Structure 1
Amino acid sequence: ALGSLKLCDRTGQYSADSSFGNMDNLPVPQQIRISNITCDSFKISWDMEIRGRERITHFFIDLNKKEIRKDNKFKLKDVPTKLVAKAVPLPMMVRGHWFLSPRTEYTVAVQTAAKRADGDYSVSLWSEIIEFCTADYSSVHLKQLLQKAEAIAGRMLPFTVFYRNQQREFFQQDRDTQCQQMLPVVKDNSGSHGSPISAKLEGIFFSCNTEFNTGQPPQDSPYGPYRFQVRPAEDLFNHNTNIYFGDFYCMYTSYHYVILVLAPAGSKGDVFCRGRLPVLDRSNNRFLTYTEEEEGQLSFLHAQNVVLEVIYTEPVDLSLGTVSQISGHQLMSLSTANAKKDPSCKICNISVGR
């Protein structure tokens, strides 16, 4: 029955299908309200006139991603973004079988319907079109992502420096005094679509991964042939630095990336992350740790089997490190700038969206 069902369009016109009749007795949904929005669910309610309400048996709800909105035709290929729901008390929870994506703009419109004895429906006009946006991953979803990342992190390797590669112009020293710092910028949209830090958190990207055979940072980079190294690493990661898990993703390759946030306690970045991201134990996690030696110095370890992207949330003085040219290649194919996550990867995806 659903395969042959034709709904009226949302501009207020009646369906051309003559099997839909008696529409004058069905109330049109008005004042659509969306509430309790999460990354994969929402509640919907509306007002209706009393006239004809007793005849309603079903609600037809048309949900579309805003950027690909099409004419409203009920086709099997559109399922599950078209829903025929039995009339239930409002508000009605929409979740699960809709496969909603986090942080995505949708449009929604509603019809009331009455199922007839012959199996067809009488329908009302469409309601007005409402727009809304789903939310970021919740703390529960991020903990699921964290557990997946922990499962493949591998053993820990020592490192001594945080580093950042850029073009030569980025590190030129003939700036005015105010610009002798690397300043935080808003993170791009790379990684998981529902990560709360994408396009919101301000910070500076650093790396700390080392090559297994040398124990040193790799000589190849996708971001530029000049490298700024912060030594010792404790200038960025120390007893006053909180560490948060931000994301876990891959880009259609065998490499998996983990984003960590280093935020000095009480800083703007720390306030942003608190309550949004899982906080990690500085000396006991699967990705990035330090331990204090007898002399009071800190020794550092990073996970072997993932590529760590570390976001430091405060300005960094260029005087804290040195700039030198690397001898390797600039491998642009490894860049993660605005990279899209592989939605089919079973290692780094959770059930609520990509």
Structure 2
Amino acid sequence: MASRQTYDQEVVFIHRQKKNVTHTKLQKQAVRVWVPLQITELKTRTVFMYLFLSNGGERVEPITVSLPLSDDMSCDVMDYTCEALFQDGKDEKERIRLMMQHSGVKNFSVDVDHIPPSTYTVTGLNPSSFENDKHPFTDQSRDTKLDQETSSIEKGLQKLVLSSKPEKQRTEHPEKVQKKGTPCSSLVFLKDIDTNGISLFSTMNSEMTFPFQLCPITDYELVVFRGKETKKCCFRVQAVAQCLFKSYMTQVEIDELHKRAVGHTLSTAVLPSFYPVKYLYRNKPLLHFLHIFTNTKGIMFKYIKNFGGDPASTLNRKLHGLFFSANVDPKTGDPPPVSYYGDQRIHIPVSFMITPDTNLYFADFYCHNIKHKVTLVVTLKGSKADEFCSARLKSLNQSYNEFLYRSPDSTDAMVNTRVTVEVFYTESIDIGKLLESRIAYFTTVQSEGNPFLKTLLGRPKREGCKTCNLK
């Protein structure tokens, strides 16, 4: 694979009429992007950020950096080095590790909270080590209106305003106002790993929401620099954070995934093989069910969905429910004799779970080895889970669809055995009453693997499969 084209960028450091010229390698970009330069003052181990706009071609004019030196820093401009972040192919985790090792920069943790389908908020921008950094005009948390005044981003990132515009001081005697230092803020760098495009944001809040919709099913890298702006476009770094995340599928991608799942079941010369099922079943260890009867009065409470299946599933860590399986052997009609989730299997009538009062949705299509799996979601009509799914998933006809359907006048359902059908039921179930009424029953099966680890983390889909991966 050929290396990416680079060009030599001249950087001129200016301080008190003294100049120092250095060079750094930058990757050519197809579009105009903001490029961050890391500037390190060697004696005091202070890290600055300098931002400039690159058109991706051979630059005729040099980048001129006027360094705002404070009293605790060296006045010798020769003691500075510069480096382009994200441009030379180095591993960003290694960059941050070296930055922390060779400078006074600390680290902290941030997270990206997702509100499906397309809202992403960076949280944790104010770490505990900066709790004493009060805003100079108010000790209260800043509201959304004020946050909009502290940063400005134009379309195409043609402009980035880092300077804060705080509220006016409410005082009758301005001369009596105590002078305070520059407030801390955060520079947020969002990198699209597929295109290497970088978007920059500035905020003084503890969180910020991206002002545009991210590309679905895309890997993003987030790097946050916490510190103070000492001069326009110059930023003194005090701490750094980093995280990776994947953006989620929208209904457009869910619809495409559904088409692939349907096409997969029709890929052979014969029609899909449907088989009648009377029960949906759930496998768990014996201790799991003993806990239910001892501590929750026989109620099997729903829990939040893990990261199993497609990593870009909009259900991950957002919707609560209980997983059941409709998987049967196409020759015998019986469930598999081996379970990877525990040695106890509870069987609950499909007529109890899929009723005229429920809705059915297609949610996921994935595989781990050879046989593909389909995830369907069952919700009570009008519930919060139903509202969640109706805006994000594909609605299916409960009386007939390509995977699992049940006629209202039948106690059985028909399941497509060409795929493994999983059902995510979004309500808690009183299995004590069902067992007492002999509506549900238990069987013991052979167990393999670690059921607790599978339930806690979930197993992501196989990345190399071209059948069920949209990207």
TM bucket by the smaller chain?
A: 0.5 to 0.7
The 2-side partners of 1:39 and 1:308 are apart by 30
User: Deviations along 1:193-231, whole A, 9 cap, x unmatched?
Assistant: 22110111100111111112211111111011111111x
Displacement, 1:23? 2.0
Shift in Å, 1:143: 0.5
Contact 1:165 1:224 in 2 (8 A): yes
| Structure-2 residue corresponding to 1:12 | 48
| Structure 2 residue matching 1:165: 3-state secondary structure | strand
1:262 to 348, 358, 378: 378
Q: 3-state SS of the aligned residue for 1:157?
A: strand
Q: Does structure 2 conserve the Cα–Cα contact (< 8 Å) formed by 1:39 and 1:100?
A: no
Residue aligning to 2:407: 291
CA contact (8 A) 1:209 1:308 kept: yes
Q: Is the 8 A contact 2:292 2:299 kept in 1?
A: no
Q: Which has the higher strand share?
A: 2
Match of 1:324 among 436, 443, 450: 443
Match for residue 221 of structure 1? Answer: 339
1:248 equivalent to 2:339? Answer: no
Aligned mates of 1:244, 1:211 — CA distance in 2: 24
Which digits, 9 at most, give the CA deviation of each residue in 1:273-326, with x for residues without a partner? 12111111112211110124xxx3333111112112211111111132112212
Question: 5 Å matches for 1:261-280?
Answer: 261-280=377-396
Question: Secondary structure of the equivalent of 2:263?
Answer: helix
For 1:163, the equivalent position in structure 2 comes to 281
> What is the CA-CA distance between 1:329 and the residue it aligns to?
4.3
Per the alignment, do residues 3 and 303 of structure 1 end up closer, same or farther by CA in structure 2, a change over 3 Å counting? same
Indicate the percent of aligned positions where both proteins have the same amino acid.
26
| Structure 2 residue identity aligned to 1:241 | T
TM-score w.r.t. length of structure 2: 0.52
5+ residue gaps, structure 2, are 9-24, 27-36, 40-46, 52-58, 67-116, 121-152, 163-187, 200-210, 226-232, 266-271, 435-439
TM-score under structure 1 length normalisation: 0.67
**2:307 and 2:459 in contact (8 A); partners too:** yes
The equivalent residue for 1:205 is: 323
Q: Which amino acid aligns with 1:350?
A: L
Aligned partners of 1:127 and 1:347: how far apart in 2?
Answer: 48
The 10-residue stretch of structure 1 (296-305 or 155-164) with the greater mean CA deviation from structure 2? 296-305
The answer on whether the counterparts of 1:188 and 1:198 sit within 8 Å (CA) in structure 2 is yes
Amino acid of the residue matched to residue 308 of structure 1?
V
Q: Compared with structure 1, are the counterparts of its residues 105 and 62 closer, same or farther at alpha carbon in structure 2 (3 Å cutoff)?
A: closer
1:31 aligned residue: none
- Corresponding residue pairs, total: 284
Q: Distance in 1 between matches of 2:50 and 2:387?
A: 53
In structure 2, relative to structure 1, the CA distance for the partners of 1:174 and 1:239 (3 Å cut) is: closer
Unpaired stretches in structure 1, ≥5 consecutive residues: 26-36, 50-60, 66-77, 85-91, 110-123
Sort the Cα spacing of 1:79 and 1:185 in 2 relative to 1 into closer, same or farther, 3 A. closer
- Contact kept? 2:301, 2:429, Cα under 8 Å: yes
Q: Given the alignment, which residue of 226, 236, 256 partners 2:353?
A: 236
Matched residues in 1 for 2:197 and 2:384: separation?
42
Q: Is the 8 A contact 1:62 1:82 kept in 2?
A: no
Residue pair 1:244, 1:278 contacting (<8 A) in 2 also = yes
C-alpha separation in 2, matches of 1:131 and 1:283: 48
Distance in 2 of aligned mates of 1:284 and 1:206: 19
SS in 2 for 1:272: helix
| Match for residue 309 of structure 1 among 393, 399, 422 | 422
Cα deviation digits, residues 87-124 of structure 1 (max 9, x gap) = xxxxx99988xx9726x552489xxxxxxxxxxxxxx8
Alpha-carbon offset, residue 183 of structure 1: 0.6
Larger RCO (alpha carbons 8 Å, 6+ apart): 1
Contact 2:191 2:198 in 1 (8 A): no
1:106 and 2:142 equivalent? no
For the 8 Å contact 2:327–2:421, the answer to whether it is kept is yes
**1:139 partnered with 2:175:** no
Structure-2 residue corresponding to 1:23: 64
1:169, distance to aligned residue in structure 2 (A):
1.6
Distance 1:190 1:141 in 2: 18
